[in-house]
Amino acid sequence: MANTPQAKKRIRRNNKRAEINGARMSRIRTQVKKVEAACTAGDKAAAEAALKTAQPELARGVAKGVLHKNTAARKMSRLSKRVAAL
């Protein structure tokens, strides 16, 4: 158990950040799923629109430190390739 005030504050801060980061990852996953769903349905216009909203969300995840930059780049690349193939 945390004894020092610094350790107690760190626990509070970690919990707050975990909640924020979890929400951010959830938002990213949702956007990626929308692109994949549109690709599966074969709707190119919807897939392109979803990709346009997913890319900034992935980039924001990298900037905020919840995603590694190569992971985001790989996801963007694969999604772009799927949309282009429609």
Q: Domain residue spans in the chain? A: 5-85
Q: What pLDDT does 84 receive?
A: 95
Q: What digits encode the pLDDT tens for the residues 25-84?
A: 999 999 999 999 999 999 999 999 999 999 999 999 999 999 999 999 999 999 999 999
The beta strand positions in 2-73, using DSSP E, are none
User: What architecture (CATH level 2) is domain 5-85?
Assistant: Up-down Bundle (1.20)
In our burial notation (b when 16+ CB lie closer than 10 A, e otherwise), range 20-41 reads eeeebeeebeebbebbbebbee
| Residue 45 structure tokens | 């216009």
Mean pLDDT, range 4-20, rounded to an integer: 96
pTM of the model: 0.86
d(CA 61, CA 50): 17
Q: What pLDDT does 2 receive?
A: 81
| Residue 86 structure tokens | 């429609």
